[in-house]
Amino acid sequence: MTIIVTGGAGFIGSNFIFHMLKTYADYRIICVDKLTYAGNMSTLAGIMEDSRFRFCKVDICDRAKIYEIFEDEHPDIVVNFAAESHVDRSIENPEVFLQTNILGTQVLMDACRKYGIKRYHQVSTDEVYGDLPLDRPDLFFTEETPIHTSSPYSSSKAGADLLVLAYHRTFGLPVTISRCSNNYGPYHFPEKLIPLMIANALNDKPLPVYGKGENVRDWLYVEDHCKAIDLIIHNGRVGEVYNVGGHNEMANIDIVKLICKKLDKPESLITYVADRKGHDMRYAIDPTKIHTELGWLPETKFAEGIDKTINWYLENRKWWETIISGEYQNYYEKMYGNR
Ligand code: NAD
Ligand code: DAU
């Protein structure tokens, strides 16, 4: 089995590659990644010499190069993680989100049509459903919840999802889509809430909480997401969407306080800053479908996952310190300098 994994130098894609190489001794993985600011070769250093692995520095929007890879490798499955993934950046500059997230998806699916494929899997997000109110804890996102996006990021992901379903209906492309909640774990880029707060706390820097910190996210340990995708590409029904999430809702402020406590840092580091524009209030996944059809359940409890994550950032300081000492400083100044 040969699998093309796009965006494999990023957070979830790299964790997925590690999971697949560990689980399937005879699978070949081709990682296609443009290496944007979010892609990191040091993440993949440990598998570069593995004969089952090939890395291609290629933009998924580059049709000629993508077709070349398909001609060379005859992939059975494509799993598309490649995306611009940060909501705040999409508010600053939406264009690249539409290019990569929508047009890049189209190029990959055209290649799948041209060269034939057993499965195209689109890694999507629960953000396509918009948000839920805080005062209705009985409401959850199901696969039938209407698409109702808030940010340029989530709109681009929703646009891609609709295109994927259209390629299935119009051209018969064998597709599946997963819509997952917030992931956390090793190799998470330090612009996102959990790794940003860990890095800032370790450096005794202010911890910038948007608005009142009351927004709720449904956190899932990254390995559980990878296992869900593994199940879907092997056993999921073609043309179907699967929500992935583990009923682990937490308010941002509680996460930040917990990180302070675990790192023995004072809560006085917490600084309330201007809210994100169009900030989604609450995400909460109903995972009944993937549980009943594929037997998936999250295996890592948050208490265990957050300890593993914090330990990873403590033991791998070089990985994130290299990131935050570079171009990231300009990003941080722009986003947080006058906030
Ligand atoms: P990330 O930003 O950490 O990684 C994205 C990767 O894609 C990077 O390696 C980057 O170099 C690569 N990339 C970007 N543009 C590219 C292009 N044009 N061509 C080739 N490669 C390109 O993202 P992540 O958090 O790992 O998210 C991966 C996927 O999962 C995304 O599609 C995202 O929408 C989805 N998702 C993320 C979460 C989450 O909590 N992080 C939750 C649900 C779904
Ligand atoms: O739900 C899945 C989505 O989760 C994915 O599709 C996205 O790719 C991923 O980035 C994530 O989106 P969020 O916007 O929920 O994640 P982020 O880590 O950016 O923010 C989480 C919450 O924390 C959100 O309510 C905003 C808040 N926040 C974030 C940052 C970076 C802060 O309060 N302060 C911050 O500095």
Q: For 298-313, how does the pLDDT look when each residue is reduced to its tens digit (9 = 90+)? A: 999 999 999 999 999 9
Identify the residue whose tokens are 């037997």: 295
Is the beta carbon of 125 within 6 A of some atom in ligand 2? yes
Per-domain residue ranges of the chain? 2-188+220-245+281-301
| Average pLDDT taken over every residue of the chain | 97
Identify the residue whose tokens are 């299935």: 168
pLDDT at 339: 86
pLDDT at 137: 95
Q: H-type helices in 7-62, by residue range?
A: 11-23, 41-44
Answer whether 60's CB lies under 8 Å from 35's CB. Answer: no
Coil, helix or strand at residue 165: helix
The atom number, within ligand 2, closest to the CA of 279 reads: 25
Is the beta carbon of 249 within 6 A of some atom in ligand 2? no
Residues 272-299 have a mean pLDDT of 98
Q: How far is the CA of 46 from the centre of ligand 2 (A)?
A: 28
Q: How far is the CA of 171 from the centre of ligand 1 (A)?
A: 26
The token duo for 30 is 């081709």
pLDDT at 208: 98
Q: How far is the CA of 83 from the centre of ligand 1 (A)?
A: 4
For residue 42, how far is the Cα from the chain centroid?
A: 18
pLDDT reading at 246 higher than 90: no
Rounded CA-CA distance 124/285 in Å is: 13
The atom number, within ligand 1, closest to the CA of 182 reads: 40
Is the beta carbon of 222 within 6 A of some atom in ligand 2? no
Q: What is the largest CA-CA distance in the chain?
A: 57
The token duo for 137 is 């804890």
CA angle 32, 54, 47 (to 5 degrees): 110
Residues 130-138 have a mean pLDDT of 96
pLDDT reading at 203 higher than 90: yes
Rounded CA-CA distance 217/281 in Å is: 8
Query: What sign results for the dihedral spanned by CA atoms 287, 220, 233, 148?
Result: positive
Fold (CATH) for 2-188+220-245+281-301? Rossmann fold (3.40.50)
